[in-house]
Amino acid sequence: MEHAEFVPHDRTSHARHPIAHLAPGYFAAVMGTGIVSIGLHDVGALAFSQVMMWIAAVLYVVLWVLYIWRAIAFSHEVLADLRNPEIAFAYFTVVAATDVLGVRLAQDGMMAVAIPLFLLAGALWFVFGYLLPWQVLMTRDGKQILARVNGTWFIWAVASQSLAIGMSQLRPQVDTSVAQWVGLLAVLAWSVGVILYAAMAMLVLLRVVHFGVTPQQFDPAYWVAMGALAIAVVAGANIVQMERTPLVDAVRPLIAATVVIFWVFCLWLIPLLVGAGFWRHAVHRVPLRYVATLWSMVFPIGMFAVASISLGTADELPAAGAVGRVALVVAVIVWAVVFVGMLHRVTLSLWSAKPRPARNGA
């Protein structure tokens, strides 16, 4: 979600404005780019997949630099974000982006980089999983929290499922004594992600029933409601295919029975979300322009494509595979449009931050 604009009082604050108001969920750009790269790899478009993999890697490094810079130079803004129910959960994109990039690097055999990313994602998931909800739910600013629930809350579930996928990728790389703990963490993350999804869905539904959602409030982040289920499909399928550990063996039949149901519900949600977009932009004339939350639409579309392709291959469901290939084409197009919009926004921000020569007589 974008932060409010302000008029700078001096040249220094003007130049630092883009960092001070960097959206907490910008790591969704890495998620969206990475998942489209994974999808392209799955269908054999290796050259395009590698290009997008490196774009995702560059974005990941640049965003870490910017976020650390912001945390040091603008700590008050960061603390305000952490206590804001409307944007705090967007920080879970850091966890999901770390796992998505790790999975893509693992596809190319770069496990020496992927494994530290999976471990980092696990650590961040535990820290954020307790810190962010505490900051949001235990801090009161006089406004009703339920009225401020939105699509970004689903990113908590996405982060959990991304960790489950990361652990399933890590499992073959560890010895037997560690494998049972990796399996435990994979099942834990998947289970927590499913329960969190149900909880977030209930909260969003209560918000809509009690307070409604205006066209301006129904931003692209609500697409995460579909993406969170799509990534649960992929995470569940990966756990089902994991090598044997006691806990994985215990839940394998249950998880295998749910992934197709989750995929079908994702398919049902897509027309609903497309219709909501038509209602927002065509009926109520909300301008269609670049905002950071558009990346929260790219990732769910790409994730649905990957989940569908995975089901089509692993479960021998050719219809799902066909749907996945169509969704992947759509994901590539949407990614390209949003990426160009981001570059345009960055260019404008840098241009506006350039010092202007003083005019004579000014």
Is residue 12 assigned to a domain?
no
Q: Are 259 and 237 in contact (CB under 8 A)?
A: yes
**Average pLDDT over every residue of 284-295:** 91
Q: Are 104 and 82 in contact (CB under 8 A)?
A: no
Three-state SS at 255: helix
Q: What proportion of the chain, given as a percentage, has pLDDT over 70?
A: 91
Greater model confidence, 20 or 150? 150
Contacts with 197 (C-beta within 8 Å, 6 or more apart), sequence order: 154, 157, 228, 229, 232
CA dist 74 and 20 (Å) reads: 6
Single-letter amino acid code for the residue at 291 = V
Residue 1 confidence (pLDDT) above 50 = no
82: left (phi over 0), alpha (psi -120 to 50) or beta: alpha
Is residue 305 assigned to a domain?
yes
Contacts with 92 (C-beta within 8 Å, 6 or more apart), sequence order: 128, 132, 155, 156, 158, 159
**Average pLDDT over every residue of 340-348:** 90
pLDDT of 5: 39
Residue 210 confidence (pLDDT) above 80 = yes
Domains in the chain, number: 1
Is residue 53 assigned to a domain?
yes
Of the listed ranges 69-78, 81-90, 248-257, the least confidently predicted one is: 248-257
Residue 92 confidence (pLDDT) above 50 = yes
Instruction: For tokens 């307790």, name the residue.
Output: 130
Is residue 359 assigned to a domain?
no
Domain with residue 34: its CATH number is 1.50.10.150
pLDDT of 354: 62
Confidence of residue 141 (pLDDT cuts 50, 70, 90): low
Contacts with 243 (C-beta within 8 Å, 6 or more apart), sequence order: 171, 172, 179
Is residue 179 assigned to a domain?
yes
- What is the token pair recorded at 323? 């749907």
pLDDT of 135: 83
Host domain of residue 85: 23-350
CA dist 49 and 331 (Å) reads: 13
Helix (H) or strand (E) holding 278: helix 246-278
- What is the token pair recorded at 100? 């998505």
pLDDT of 275: 95
pLDDT of 149: 93
Is residue 1 assigned to a domain?
no
Is residue 323 assigned to a domain?
yes
Confidence of residue 6 (pLDDT cuts 50, 70, 90): very low
Is residue 13 assigned to a domain?
no
CA dist 118 and 113 (Å) reads: 9
Residue 2 confidence (pLDDT) above 60 = no
Residue 15 confidence (pLDDT) above 50 = no
What is the pTM assigned to this prediction?
A: 0.89
pLDDT of 315: 67
